[in-house]
Structure formats: structure tokens, C-alpha cells
């Protein structure tokens, strides 16, 4: 079951107070970015936040599950998504702890 657009719109609405948040469809599901960092995935109408120490401390005892087969476990959020302020705080803490993305390698141009 793929994620429906209404759920994505709901989550993005809950995060509307967060600056630099965006969403991109990837591989049939969705990635949520804060600035250039992937902070969460939406898969099968479920929000999965990348695990961090600060996030774990904020949540307490999180439910963890992989967002897709073969993925590392993430914090699986269900009813928590109803509280936009709580969700925004979790995303802020997670963003602050995640490393900066690695720079993309420049493409080599073919020479004749």
C-alpha cells in the first residue's frame, strides 16, 4: 500500500512552523527534509523519523521499525503525529543531531 497524498499533506501541515522543511517523492514513497538533511520518511501512511540520541530522549521509549524491507529501524510514529508542536520539536532535535550530508561527487564529462 503506497502512501496517499492526503497523509503527506497532513504531516507537512503539522510541520508548517518548522523553517526549511520540504518533502520529495522518492521511490514511490516520501522523504522529509529539513534544509538538506533527510530527517524522516513517510512509507505506507506511517511516519518514520531517523533515530538519534536526542530524539530517543525526547520520545522516551519509541516504537522502532524499518520503513521498508532491508532498512535500518527508525522511530515509528502513529498517534504522536496529531500534536504538531511535539512533532516540530522532535524534528528540530533530530535535525540538530544529524550530520551534514556528504557533498555530491562531481560528474566526470566524457572526452572524445
54-81 mean pLDDT: 96
pLDDT tens digits for range 42-53: 999 999 999 999
Task: Kindly tell me if the per-residue pLDDT of 108 is higher than 80.
Answer: no
At 11-36, the pLDDT tens digits run: 999 999 999 999 999 988 999 999 99
- CATH numeric code, 5-97: 3.30.1460.30
Instruction: Dump the DSSP string for 13-81.
Output: HHTTTSTTEEEEEETTEEEEEETTEEEEEEETTEEEEPP-HHHHHHHSS--EE-SSTTPPPEEEESGGG
Q: Taking the model in full, what pTM does it have?
A: 0.89
Domain borders along the chain are: 5-97
Amino acid at each position: 500500500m503506497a502512501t496517499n497524498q492526503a497523509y503527506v499533506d497532513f504531516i507537512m501541515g503539522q510541520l508548517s512552523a518548522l523553517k526549511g522543511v520540504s518533502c520529495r517523492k522518492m521511490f514511490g514513497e516520501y522523504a522529509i527534509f529539513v534544509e538538506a538533511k533527510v530527517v524522516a520518511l513517510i512509507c505506507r501512511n506511517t511516519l518514520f523519523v531517523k533515530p538519534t540520541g536526542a530524539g530517543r530522549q525526547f520520545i522516551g521509549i519509541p516504537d522502532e521499525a524499518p520503513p521498508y524491507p532491508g532498512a535500518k529501524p527508525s522511530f515509528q510514529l502513529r498517534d504522536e503525529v496529531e500534536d504538531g508542536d511535539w512533532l516540530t520539536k522532535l524534528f528540530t532535535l533530530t535535525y540538530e543531531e544529524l550530520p551534514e550530508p556528504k557533498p555530491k561527487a562531481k560528474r566526470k564529462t566524457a572526452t572524445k
